[in-house]
Structure 1
Amino acid sequence: MSLPETDAVGTTTAAHAKSRPQAAPGPLDGDPSLIGVPTFIVGSIALGLTLVGYVPAGTAGAPLAVILAATALGQLIAAVWAAALGQSAVAAIFGVFTGFWLSYAVLVLGLLHGWFGITADTATRSQALFLISWLATIVLLTVSTLRLPAAFTVLFTLIDLALALVLSATLDGSVTLQKAGGYTVFAFVAVGFYLFVHVTSLATGGRGLPLGRPAVG
């Protein structure tokens, strides 16, 4: 008699389980680059225009509205999205650039308002400290992209070059080097355009664009 009772209990339990509402699956899908790449592009354009002198000298705060409200926020959203998908490398890259853009904005605001004990005498070294720290970090990211398609390595190499040129311009007070850094920013923006067309094509059912072979297999 015990076996039929067990069957009845099991059947009742199974029926009850089926009758309970099931949790809806989370929206763990998509490509975070669709937010990360264009928001990176728009901030880079604003920074590049500032470096080449589109706005008058002394208006370093001009691109901050774009950088804070669009680029830094977009990088953060993309990083969180990628982390939720389990895309650790993508999350790391967007997370690092969240830090870059936020710290850039804080540095500029600090220079404009005399925060952090930054005075006119220490402004140059403070900017150089920022650029050296981020140049070393982005070089590290560049090395880590050698297993990715070549387009990503080209992008990060151009970012390295732009940072190096702006660092030299900061230390030497060279307007020419600063403008060269700005034009290099536009060069990696062009690569960003290409990558955004690639990810958008994939997201809309296309085949994507060729990105080149990785430098390291």
Structure 2
Amino acid sequence: MSLSETDAAHGEPRPQATPGPLGGDPALIGVPTFVVGSIALGLTLVGYLPAEAAGAPVAIILAATALGQLIAAFRAAALGQSAVAAIFGVFTGSWLSYAVLVLGLIHGWFGTTADTATRTQALFLISWLATVVLLTVSTLRLPAAFTVLFALIDRAPALVLLATPNGSDTLRAAGGYAVFAFVTVGFYLFLHVTSLAKGGRGLPLGRPAVGG
């Protein structure tokens, strides 16, 4: 998702530049690993698994998504793509902390009661929702597809946060469907970066909301 692979002024994709000594686009690792963890999370939220199996997606989230985001962040930093490295780095923290939250609540690591467990989940959701909203604002000068992606990501924790105090299955499921919505955009962006990696022009990403 490097701006070096798009026309920053108009949001139009252009052919990928010849790779330098390090080569490669970090998004080729970062996007699909983000998508696979999101699918697992979305299926959990919509009730594909019973409530007592809340830890089921952690295997994918911890070993694939968080690790993939970390690799992509280091890759982007090595290539001098600071903004991309920051985004993947933040999502590394998000997925890792989600895994720790779920495992901690299941195994009683935090010494929480039933009431404080709910507040612990809310604390997690509020903290990350605020952070992702900040990232969303930072994408306004990027092609529109990135802003749409982050706006949809915002909706998922917001809906789950609303569901948390009263355990609303309806709102929780709505959060899951919001996850599937941003997964769809993730698919599109992955097709874009793979096209660029193969020397194509990529897919239309839309004009930036600011400065377009």
Using the size of structure 1 for normalisation, the TM-score is 0.87
| 1:120 corresponding residue in structure 2 | 114
| 1:55 corresponding residue in structure 2 | 49
1:198 to 168, 192, 205: 192
Q: Does residue 82 of structure 1 match 2:73?
A: no
Q: Aligned letter for 1:98?
A: T
Compute the displacement of 1:147 (Å): 0.4
Compute the displacement of 1:149 (Å): 0.3
| 1:148 corresponding residue in structure 2 | 142
Q: Distance in 2 between matches of 1:142 and 1:38?
A: 20
Q: Report if the CA contact (8 A) 1:135-1:163 is conserved.
A: yes
Q: Does residue 216 of structure 1 match 2:210?
A: yes
Q: Distance in 1 between matches of 2:180 and 2:174?
A: 10
Q: Distance in 2 between matches of 1:114 and 1:205?
A: 51
Compute the displacement of 1:206 (Å): 1.0
SS at match of 2:164: helix
Q: Does residue 91 of structure 1 match 2:85?
A: yes
Q: Aligned letter for 2:203?
A: L
Compute the displacement of 1:173 (Å): 1.5
1:103 to 88, 97, 100: 97
1:167 to 161, 165, 170: 161
Q: Deviations over 1:12-46 (max 9, x none)?
A: xxxxxxxxxxxxxx842210000000000000000
Q: Aligned letter for 2:40?
A: A
Q: Does residue 32 of structure 1 match 2:26?
A: yes
Q: Aligned letter for 1:171?
A: P
Residue-pair matches, total:
192
Q: Which runs of 5+ in 2 are unaligned?
A: 1-19
CA RMSD of aligned residues (A): 0.9
Q: Report if the CA contact (8 A) 1:40-1:71 is conserved.
A: yes
Q: Distance in 2 between matches of 1:27 and 1:62?
A: 40
The structure whose residues are more often helix, as a share, is 1
Q: Aligned letter for 1:146?
A: L
| 2:127 corresponding residue in structure 1 | 133
Q: Which runs of 5+ in 1 are unaligned?
A: 1-25
Compute the displacement of 1:187 (Å): 0.3
Q: Deviations over 1:92-127 (max 9, x none)?
A: 000000000000000000100001222323110000
| 2:5 corresponding residue in structure 1 | none
* Structure of larger gyration radius: 1
Q: Deviations over 1:152-177 (max 9, x none)?
A: 00000001011100000112311000
